[in-house]
Amino acid sequence: MKVYRFYLGFIVPLALFLSAFSLSGLILTQAGEYLPMKEVVRKLEKTGGVFGSGLHSQAFWYKQATYRHFKPEITLLGSSRALLMRQEQFNAPFVSLGMMRSIDEEAELAYSLFDEHAPKLLMFDMDYWWFHERFETFRPKRTDDPAEVSLYELFKTIKWTISGKLPLGKIPHIISVKSPHLGMMGIIKGEGFDAHGSFWYHSSLTGDAEHKDPRFSATLAKLHSDDMAFARGPDISEKQWKTFEDLMLWLKAKDIKVILFIPPLAPTVFQAMEAEPPGSFAYIDALRVRTKKLVAAHGFSFFDFHDSMGTIGSDNCEFVDGIHGGIVTYTRMLLHMAERHANLRAYTDVNAMRQEISTHKGHASLLGSKETDFLKIGCLKDKGQ
């Protein structure tokens, strides 16, 4: 009897343990966490869903897959601040190559893709902090494509279930592959990349998930703690500038029309930067000077949206957080550029953009009344359609 109890006490926990890990593996597999990125693009093109991995950093590979799939005439290359322009805004194939994490990664992606198929028009996001000397040694981490299963990931899924981050009601939904979305965050939150590489927010703007930057508190804390995005300095890095300039000259040689732009900050964050001691961010002014000279010499175009209110009239309520504008902000940017750039204007419908801005003014999305005052700054969100 003692032996029986011993084995029972050993086998039952072991069986439960193995069952939990098997279920975890099934959930992650059915969610599409281990699909090759080209397969993810094909599936999303059919379902109209989004891909949001809860485990892996695969944007570098996903953006290559979607670019090669659609072979766009217009593309947008940049960081997480280059994700909210959308195929629906263009009358020709478009892909967003946003979510790169340095000038070097932008250059690596461009050299890899544009030799195979060059776009006719490229909008290029210039995050000012990438030109700071701190980024000279920065190298982003990537997950392989396709990602491989690990015990840590299996355990993480179990942990999500216990904590409630993965609702039990979602598990049958995931296993039966009923969601149009792929990836754990895509299925749970409805947030991620669409087939064309653009990003869609949902739960973080509707109040279904806790917002990470209420009152821009997290962004302002980074500003005051000298975070990478808010590094101080008198001048840009010559090494970073050369990487950028070499890429620009290569793009010109391939006869690609290039529109450079500095993305906007939320007005509150912009004002906080302006209130810092004189010269704190002098390297941003130095970047502007160098960029204008480059543009004048080689026929590129340049737009500076750093001050969102001063350039396109986008207020705090149209931002997702302190450094990421929402959909309306990016529609304002695209409209502003299209009205001043004939090549871009030929690919867009300026009247449709004006209507979208009018309808969704004060919103960070196209969710209308579902969007809440997620920033907790008194935004009125009851006028969207």
**Is 239 inside a domain boundary?**
yes
Of 248, 205, 263, residue with least CA distance to 83: 263
Q: Write phi, then psi, for 243 (nearest 5 degrees).
A: -60, -45
180: which residues sit within 8 A by CB, 6+ positions away?
Answer: 47, 48, 49
Domain that holds residue 124: 59-142+211-370
Residue showing tokens 């007005």? 267
pLDDT at residue 101 is higher than 80: yes
pLDDT, tens only, 292-325: 999 999 999 999 999 999 999 999 999 999 999 9
- pLDDT value of position 4: 54
- pLDDT value of position 341: 97
pLDDT at residue 342 is higher than 80: yes
**Mean pLDDT across 357-370:** 94
pLDDT, tens only, 35-67: 999 999 999 999 999 999 988 888 999 999 999
Residue showing tokens 């028009």? 121
pLDDT at residue 334 is higher than 90: yes
In the structure, what pLDDT confidence band is assigned to residue 15 with cuts at 50, 70 and 90? Answer: low
Which is higher by pLDDT, 93 or 8? 93
- pLDDT value of position 174: 79
**Could you tell me the CATH number of the domain that includes residue 130?**
3.40.50.1110
**Is 236 inside a domain boundary?**
yes
- pLDDT value of position 167: 79
In the structure, what pLDDT confidence band is assigned to residue 128 with cuts at 50, 70 and 90? Answer: very high
Q: What is the mean pLDDT of the chain?
A: 91
**Is 44 inside a domain boundary?**
no
**Is 88 inside a domain boundary?**
yes
**Is 13 inside a domain boundary?**
no
Residue showing tokens 């504008």? 325
- pLDDT value of position 384: 45
pLDDT, tens only, 69-85: 999 999 999 999 999 99
Which is higher by pLDDT, 226 or 178? 226
Total number of domains constituting the chain:
1
Residues 375 and 315: beta-carbon distance below 8 Å? no
Which is higher by pLDDT, 142 or 183? 183
**Is 310 inside a domain boundary?**
yes
Cα(first)–Cα(last) distance of the chain, in Å?
70
**Is 366 inside a domain boundary?**
yes
pLDDT-wise least confident of 1-10, 151-160, 171-180, 375-384:
1-10
- pLDDT value of position 382: 66
pLDDT at residue 256 is higher than 80: yes
pLDDT-wise least confident of 50-59, 237-246, 256-265:
50-59
- pLDDT value of position 36: 94
**Is 24 inside a domain boundary?**
no
In the structure, what pLDDT confidence band is assigned to residue 385 with cuts at 50, 70 and 90? Answer: very low
User: 126 is written with which tokens?
Assistant: 């210039």
Q: 94-97 and 121-125: which strand pairing?
A: unpaired
Query: Which 3-state string (H, E, C) describes the chain?
Result: CHHHHHHHHHHHHHHHHHHHHHHHHHHHHHCCCCCCHHHHHHHHHHHCCCECCCCCCCHHHHHHHHHHHHCCCEEEECCCCCCCCCHHHCCCCEEEECCCCCHHHHHHHHHHHHCCCCCCEEEEECCHHHHCHHHHCCCCCCCCCCCCCCHHHHHHHHHHHHHCCCCCCHHHHHHCCCCCCECHHHHHHCCEECCCCCEECCHHHHCCCCCCCHHHHHHHHHHHCCCHHHCCCCCCCHHHHHHHHHHHHHHHHCCCEEEEEECCECHHHHHHHHCCCCCCCHHHHHHHHHHHHHHHHHCCEEEECCEHHHHHCCCHHHECCCCCECHHHHHHHHHHHHCCCHHHHCCCCHHHHHHHHHHHCCCCCCCHHHCCCCCCCCCCCCCCC
